[in-house]
Structure 1
């Protein structure tokens, strides 16, 4: 079997509500989802959901190769980008190609990837994560009520702009999940997307911890600040979770050496091989791993085979437009199917029909770090970005607010 070519597509995730974090909000609730399809001479194609930036520079490393040599080809792609570097979106392109190769390898073997990688249990524990900073309190409650119907007992909220608002919203979600679980205490996490200084992080988490028990605070300070993350970890009870924006083992080593990370995260955008290698590094240091992303299907398959997987992020309960995935959500877990490979199927006509012009880039985001991030003396007077839609809009799931997650309907990276 030989790799013969690739093609790229871009579809969209239609959230039906504003989504975002401390660095900005997609007010129309539509985010782009890039896709790479790798083709072979035996008619098997693999799908990788992720960047295709500079793919014409990376693809020659695998062109004409046997796609089943996945890990060796991953290293070839890293070497291909050696001079200019492999960080940022280029690392996402390598990750998308890598995921597509794993898809091909498992299809060729006639097995789902989770089985090929040595997984025993197709169930992967999940937590709810709504990218919810722009929602009103009423809408926030409605969204997490839907998550709760799928048995989710842990939730991660977006925050970092107003600590009183963060605390109020965490309490609202706590109450929703507690009621759904008949009084059992839920798990709560807060993601501030690198919005704070070291001292702000310790002060603000300390304020929350006077009322609530947080499992983790995510990206409290800048991703590379090993000393600062360690200061935060020592100063609070909650764990520090970080790593989704780190691109390569070399970026994790200083954080682990400094005891700066308690929960090691990797983004779905960076691919399966990266996740497997980071998981081994974390396991050697007695640390758990947790995948991040809206469509982490490749990492979900891989998570079944690593001993230190903790929990995986579940964002939207609906798939990107034009995609179906052999995956469901039941009892608070992702449940992987038996389709060979990743179980992703594309309706390219639907993807083309959903094509939209690229969102014009602006200086104020979203996904652009605010000019005064980490330099606010007090919280934002209105709690941050424009806050949501009027009450009564559609909630997470189908347009009528009813259940959405059945087999072939679910896809759990957009703003993560």
Structure 2
């Protein structure tokens, strides 16, 4: 079997409501989803959800190769980008190709990827994550009621701009999840998306922990700040989670060496080989691993074979437009199907006739100018959903917090 070519497509995730975090919001709720398709001379096509940046140059590393040599081809792609640097969207392109190759390998074997990788249980624990900072109270309750109806009893909320508002919203979601069924109390997490300084993070979380039990706080400070993440971890009861924006084991190593994080995360678009290697590294430090991102189906397959997997992020309950998944959510778990490969099929005809969605120049992917040094309120230029009543009142910044 040989790789003969690749194609790229674009689709969108249509949330039907504003989605975002402390850095910004997509007010129209439409988030672009790029797709990479890899073809072979035996008619098997692999699907990878992820960026296309420099796809032609990266594809040169695998063109004509046997796709079943996927881990060797992953390293070959890294070597082809070492001068420019395999980070950011380029790393995402490598991850998309890598996922497509694993899809081909499992299809060729006639097995679902979870079985090929040595998984025993097709059910993978999930937690709800609604990218919900732009929602009103009524909208928030409605969204998490839907998650609760699918058996979710753990939820991660976006926050970090207003401690009183965060407490109120976390309490609302706790009540929704607790009221859905009897059993263990709901699990709550908060994601600040790197919006705090070290002191702000400790003060904000400690204030919440007076009345709430948080399982983890995600990305309280910058992703690379090993000393800062460790300082936050020492100052709060909750675990510290991070890693979704780290690309390469070399970026995880200093954080783990410093004891900076308690929950090791990887992005869904970084690829399956990356996840497996990060999971092994975390396992060597007796730490759990957790995939993050929308449509994480490739990593959910891989999670079945990771002994230290904790839970995978479940964002939208619907797949992107034109994408069909042999996966469903039941009793708080992703349930993987028996389709060979990763169980993703793309309606290419539908996507070719649609114009690609171009997002505005702001949103959660753009870091606000005043992130990490806010004094009183939401920064200028925050999208309209954040100006709904009751959304602003962050903790005041003391002089000591500026260091």
TM-score scaled by structure 2?
Answer: 0.94
Tell me if the contact between 1:229 and 1:261 (Cα under 8 Å) persists in the aligned partners. Answer: yes
CA distance in 1, matches of 2:127, 2:81: 35
SS of the aligned residue for 1:68 comes to coil
State the SS of the aligned residue for 2:132: coil
> How do 1:34-183 residues align onto structure 2 when only pairs under 5 Å count?
34-182=34-182
CA distance in 1: counterparts of 2:254 and 2:25, whole angstroms: 32
Structure 2 runs not aligned, ≥5 long: 389-403
Q: CA deviation at 1:367?
A: 1.5
Inter-partner Cα distance in structure 2 for 1:319 and 1:358: 19
Query: 1:350: how far off?
Result: 1.6
CA contact (8 A) 2:10 2:356 kept: no
Paired with 1:243 and 1:65, the residues of 2 have a C-alpha distance of 31
Deviating above 6 A after TM superposition, structure 1's stretches of 4 or more consecutive aligned residues are: none
| 1:377 paired residue among 375, 380, 396 | 375
- Residue 164 of structure 1: how far off its partner (Å): 0.7
Alignment of 1:17-28 (within 5 A): 17-28=17-28
Aligned residue pairs, count: 387
**What is the rounded CA distance, in whole Å, between the counterparts of 1:293 and 1:359 in structure 2?**
18
Distance in 1 of aligned mates of 2:97 and 2:185 = 41
SS at match of 2:278: helix
Instruction: List per-residue Cα deviations over 1:43-90 (Å, max 9, x = no partner).
Output: 000000001100111111000000000000000000000111101100
Distance 1:370 1:71 in 2: 38
Query: SS of the counterpart of 2:280?
Result: helix
CA distances 1:101-152 after superposition (whole Å, capped 9, x unpaired): 0000000000000000000000000000000000001100010000000100
Which one is further off, 208-217 or 174-183? 174-183
Query: Which residues in structure 2 correspond to 1:146-225 (within 5 Å)?
Result: 146-182=146-182, 184-225=184-225
The 3-state SS of whatever aligns with 1:241 is: strand
Partner of 1:409: none
Alignment-derived partner of residue 405 in structure 1: none
Question: Which residue of the partner structure matches residue 5 of structure 2?
Answer: 5
**Contact 2:245 2:267 survives alignment (8 Å):** yes
Q: Deviations over 1:338-363 (max 9, x none)?
A: 000011111112212332352343xx
Aligned positions of 1:301-312 closer than 5 A:
301-312=301-312
**SS, match of residue 240 in structure 1:** strand
Counterpart CA distance in 2 for 1:58 and 1:356 is 23
Indicate how the Cα distance of structure 1 residues 357 and 385 shifts in structure 2: closer, same or farther if over 3 A, else same: closer
Instruction: Tell me the residue number matched to 1:401.
Output: none
Distance 1:12 1:357, change over 3 A: closer
- Checking the alignment, whether the CA contact within 8 Å between 1:17 and 1:389 is kept in structure 2 is no
CA distance in 2, matches of 1:25, 1:380: 13
Shift of 1:221: 0.1
Match of 1:400 in 2: none
Task: Quote the Cα distance in structure 2 between the aligned partners of 1:389 and 1:334.
Answer: 35
Residue by residue over 1:222-249, the C-alpha shift from the partner in whole angstroms, topping out at 9 and shown as x without a partner, is 0000000000001100000000000000
What RMSD, in angstroms, separates the aligned Cα atoms of the two structures? 1.5
How far residue 388 of structure 1 moved from its aligned partner, in angstroms, is: 7.5
Alignment deviations for residues 282-315 of structure 1 (CA, whole Å, 9 cap, x no partner): 0000000000011101000000001000000000
Distance 2:246 2:214 in 1: 23
> How far did residue 381 of structure 1 move?
9.1
- Which residue does the alignment assign to 1:387? 385
Equivalence for 1:249 = 249
TM-score (norm 1): 0.91
